[in-house]
Amino acid sequence: MNVKRLLAALVLLVLCAGAAVAAPLDVFKDMKGTLDIAGGTAHIPVMNKAAQSIMTFNGDIRITVAGGGSGVGVKQAGEGLVGIGNTGRPLKESEIKEYGLETFPFAIDGVAVVVNPKNTVRALTAKQIAGIYAGTVKDWGEVGGEPGAINVYGREDGSGTRETFTEKILGKTELAPSVNVVSSNGAMKTAVAQDARAIGYVGIGHIEESIAGIVIDGMIPSQENAANGSYTVVRNLFMNTKGTPTGLTAAFIDYIYSADGARFITESGYIPVPRGQ
Amino acid sequence: MPPPRRSQLWIRSLALGVGGVLASVFAFIMFSALEALARGRGLSLFGNLWSPGAGQFGIMPMIAASLLLSLSALALGWTVSLGCCCALHLRTCPRLSKLLMGILRFMTAMPTVVYGFAAVFLLVPLIRSALGGSGFCWFTAGVVLALQGVPTMTLVMDGAMASLEKETGITSAALGFTPLQHLVWVVLPSMKPWLFSAAVLGFGRAMGDTLIPTMLAGNAPQFPASPLDSVRTLTAHISLVLSSDMGGGEHLSLMLSGGILLTISLLVSLTVRYISFRGRRR
DSSP H helices, chain A, are: 2-22, 44-57, 70-78, 93-99, 126-134, 160-165, 185-194, 223-228, 247-256, 259-267
pLDDT in tens, B48-91: 888 877 778 889 999 999 999 999 999 999 999 999 999 888 87
Which phi and psi angles does B86 have, rounded to 5°? -65, -45
Judged against a pLDDT cut of 70, whether residue A8 lies above it is answered with no
C-alpha to C-alpha distance for A83 and B174, rounded to whole angstroms: 85
Question: Are A89 and A123 in the same domain?
Answer: no
Contacts of B211 in chain A (CB under 8 A): none
pLDDT in tens, B11-30: 999 999 999 999 999 999 99
Domain carrying residue A85: 33-107+237-272
Question: Are A169 and A60 in the same domain?
Answer: no
Torsion angle (degrees, nearest 10) of CA B132, B135, B138, B144 = 130
Does the structure's ipTM exceed the value 0.85? no
Q: Which residue of B has its CA nearest to A157?
A: B241
Domain count, chain A: 2
Identify whether A92 is part of a domain.
yes
Identify whether A14 is part of a domain.
no
Q: Which of A213, A160, A211, A155 is nearest to A184 (CA)?
A: A155
pLDDT in tens, A232-244: 999 889 999 999 9
Strand partners of residue A155:
A182
Contacts of A177 in chain B (CB under 8 A): 49-51, 61, 220-222
Answer yes or no: are the C-beta atoms of A253 and A51 closer than 8 Å. no
Cβ neighbours for A7, distance < 8 A, ≥ 6 positions apart:
none
Identify whether A168 is part of a domain.
yes
Identify whether A48 is part of a domain.
yes
Question: Are A183 and A164 in the same domain?
Answer: yes
Q: What is the CATH number of the domain that holds A250?
A: 3.40.190.10
**Is A191 in the B-facing interface, judged by CB distances under 8 Å?**
yes
* Domains of chain B from N-terminus onward: 60-281 (1.10.3720.10)
C-alpha to C-alpha distance for B220 and B49, rounded to whole angstroms: 11
pLDDT in tens, B130-181: 998 889 999 999 999 999 999 999 999 999 999 998 889 899 989 999 888 9
Q: Which of A137, A150, A129 is nearest to A217 (CA)?
A: A129
**Is A185 in the B-facing interface, judged by CB distances under 8 Å?**
no
Identify whether A2 is part of a domain.
no
C-alpha to C-alpha distance for A74 and A93, rounded to whole angstroms: 12
Question: Are A66 and A175 in the same domain?
Answer: no
Q: How confident is the model at residue A57 (pLDDT cuts 50, 70, 90)?
A: very high
Question: Are A123 and A224 in the same domain?
Answer: yes
Q: Compute the count of residue pairs across chains A and B with CB atoms less than 8 Å apart.
A: 84
C-alpha to C-alpha distance for B70 and B49, rounded to whole angstroms: 22
Question: Are A144 and A191 in the same domain?
Answer: yes
Q: Which residue of A has its CA nearest to B49?
A: A177
Q: How confident is the model at residue B244 (pLDDT cuts 50, 70, 90)?
A: low
Contact B245 A41 (CB under 8 A): yes
Interface of B with A in 140-179 (CB under 8 A): none
Judged against a pLDDT cut of 70, whether residue A7 lies above it is answered with no
Contacts of A69 in chain B (CB under 8 A): 246
What pLDDT, on the 0 to 100 scale, is given for residue A160?
76
Answer yes or no: are the C-beta atoms of B200 and B101 closer than 8 Å. no
Question: Are A40 and A148 in the same domain?
Answer: no
Helix (H) or strand (E) holding A115: strand A101-115
To the question of pTM greater than 0.80 for the whole model, the response is: no
Strand partners of residue A35:
A63
Judged against a pLDDT cut of 60, whether residue A21 lies above it is answered with no
Question: Are A149 and A38 in the same domain?
Answer: no
Q: How confident is the model at residue A174 (pLDDT cuts 50, 70, 90)?
A: confident
A interface test, pick of B49, B129, B216, B245 with most A CB neighbours within 10 Å: B245
**Is A181 in the B-facing interface, judged by CB distances under 8 Å?**
yes
Q: How far is A246 from chain B (nearest CA, A)?
A: 28
Question: Are A261 and A164 in the same domain?
Answer: no
Identify whether A248 is part of a domain.
yes
Question: Are A80 and A143 in the same domain?
Answer: no
Question: Are A225 and A252 in the same domain?
Answer: no
Judged against a pLDDT cut of 70, whether residue A271 lies above it is answered with yes
| Cα→Cα distances B270→A66, B27, B88, B125, Å | 40, 17, 30, 40
Can you tell me whether residue B181 is helix, strand or coil? helix
Identify whether A209 is part of a domain.
yes
Can you tell me whether residue A116 is helix, strand or coil? coil
Question: Are A229 and A117 in the same domain?
Answer: yes
Helix (H) or strand (E) holding B20: helix B5-39
Residue with the larger pLDDT of the pair A3 and A143:
A143
- Determine which of A18-27, B37-46, B247-256 has the lowest per-residue pLDDT on average: A18-27
Answer yes or no: are the C-beta atoms of A201 and A269 closer than 8 Å. no
